[in-house]
Amino acid sequence: MSHSPTSPRHTTMLRHGRIDLALHRLVDGEGPSLLLLHGLGEATPAEPPPSVAGAWRGPIYGLDFTGHGASSIPRGGGYTSETLVADADAALRHVGSAVLMGRGLGAYVAMILAGLRTEEVPGVVLADGPGIAGGGTEPGSPSIVAPAQMWEGTPDPWALAELATDVRPQDYAQAFARFILTAHPGRHPLWVCAHVRPPWLEAVVDEAGVLEGSIADALTDLERSLA
């Protein structure tokens, strides 16, 4: 059953090191929380997509990663997936506990955090979006990556340049998938809803216990299992 927002979008700024992270509460509700993690170069939407809002009755949050949306921009770049995992971990500490749903780059970040915080994250949904492929499974050229064009504001050009080449080894992704699956026996904590599947995601899908389906199916199943 779908629900309607019971309050307007509210944004909380979280101090994380030298960065201010924008955590948006998109929808109020009763039940488990859902934390949305956007793709590379994106920001939290003004409201959840229909496929999400129609399948989740609890509170829905969205985080703007460092250098994206309403979050602040570091000087000189230095972006990695691990940087964004730390961002999401700060948001999770504020929310308390949440199912994670990530798009593109956010899907990779969501899976890593879910494997690190198995008690706080009862489930994770991986969906299509910008930055899902990253920079492949092995390190490439040792040359310095720099933005082709600079501008002020978000998304930070350094984020686009550096995170697009972030390496994602298959065995590394598989290890975190296994952490998630073994922490929640008897349930289906890891769903892949993405159609674009780079090698790291193919490796995740190959793990026994990973389910595939639509976003609505994934969220409905996860919410039901947490009731």
CATH number where 220 lies:
3.40.50.1820
Residue 1, pLDDT score: 38
**CA separation for the pair 166, 128 (Å, rounded):** 17
Amino acid 51: pLDDT:
93
So what's the pLDDT on residue 132?
93
pLDDT at 31 over 90: yes
Cα 58 from Cα 102, distance rounded (Å): 17
Q: Judge whether residue 60 has pLDDT over 90.
A: yes
| Residue 5 placed within a domain | no
The confidence band for 2, taking pLDDT boundaries of 50, 70 and 90, is: very low
76 close to 70: Cβ distance less than 8 angstroms: no
Res. 172: pLDDT tops 90: yes
Whether 1 is covered by a domain: the verdict is no
pLDDT at 127: 98
Residue 40: its pLDDT value, please? 97
Q: The whole model's pTM is what?
A: 0.92
Residue 189 — very low, low, confident or very high, per pLDDT cuts 50/70/90?
very high
Between CA 23 and CA 227 the distance in angstroms is 25
Number of domains making up the chain: 1
Contacting residues for 77 by C-beta, under 8 A, at least 6 apart = 156, 158, 159, 161, 162
Mean of pLDDT values over 195-209: 97
Q: What is the pLDDT of residues 133-165, one digit of tens each?
A: 987 666 655 555 556 566 788 899 999 999 998
- Specify if 4 maps to a domain: no
Confidence (pLDDT) at 71: 98
Within a domain: residue 2?
no
Is residue 53 included in any domain, yes or no?
A: yes
205 domain-assigned = yes
- Which domain does 118 fall in, by range? 10-226
What ranges make up the beta strands (E) of 38-164? 60-64, 99-103, 124-127
Any domain includes 88:
yes
Task: Judge whether 41 and 159 are in contact, CB under 8 Å.
Answer: yes
In a domain, 21, yes or no: yes
